[in-house]
Amino acid sequence: MSPSDVRPPAEPKIAERDARRMEGRTALVTGASRGIGEAIADRLAAEGATVILCSRKEPGLVEARQRILARNPGADLRVEPCHVGHAHDIVALFERLDAQGIVVDALVNNAGTNPYFGPMMGAEAAAWDKTFDVNLRGPFEMSRQVARRLIDADRPGAIVNVSSIFGLRAAPLQGIYGMTKAALISLTRTLAMEWGGAGIRVNAIAPGLVETRLSSALLASDEIVARYNERTALGRPAVPAEMAGMVLTLLSDAASYTTGQVIALDGGWLIG
């Protein structure tokens, strides 16, 4: 039997939740209204964290909160709209949290955008600016706001940035997106070095192809999906919940000696 004859189950089995590793922690997840962000928020809530759901539009956050509560009755979930591509929105968000006496000690920079799909020659300045503002400046400002407060309070914390395999390899037709994800990896390593002495750990995950709205342009192409599956050891794209377990681990004390790392969650794409 050749490797191409082996097919994985249609529905991947997600690890059972067997602990409450985030009890007493306050986690903020950006891009939490759907997809990977919602899956991460759901897992952190199940593990006992107070979770602040953050994205641009409040209605989507309210709906995500209802879905998460249905799976985790009694979870402490808060909704805070914020456009992470606007630095003044981020500052205002943390001023609101300050007024409530809330200190975030677990941050997931998941929000991302990819408005231009095509060759680099055709890229326009507006797409460049939007992608860098949301995918890079936003995570930097969110991280800085969290770190300042943790340092002032002399408290440890953990940050996870959601990068991409396209930050580790060439990104044909997604060049601007890939550049921001590569820069996010560099940012992750630099902040890990600068803030490690304060007890703040900074790591990143690099997802492969995941079934989300952000990946819709890729998933819509049978040719692209077939090429991805052929190269990937597990032979399929991921579902959002498969990103959440590693984020949970990196935020928890299970990864207390792990910082500055980039972990590919790609089903084996990079080894293909």
Catalytic residue flag (residue 116): no
Catalytic residue chosen out of the listed positions 116, 177, 228, 257: 177
Q: What are phi and psi of 248, to 5 degrees?
A: -55, -50
103: exposed, middle or buried (C-beta count within 10 Å: 0-12, 13-18, 19+)? middle
Report how far residue 208's alpha carbon sits from residue 204's, in angstroms, rounded to the nearest whole number: 13
- Element holding 29 (H helix, E strand): strand 26-30
The backbone region for 154, taken as left when phi is positive above 0, alpha when psi lies in -120 to 50, beta otherwise, is left
- Element holding 263 (H helix, E strand): strand 262-265
Report how far residue 71's alpha carbon sits from residue 199's, in angstroms, rounded to the nearest whole number: 33
Which positions are annotated as active-site residues? Answer: 177
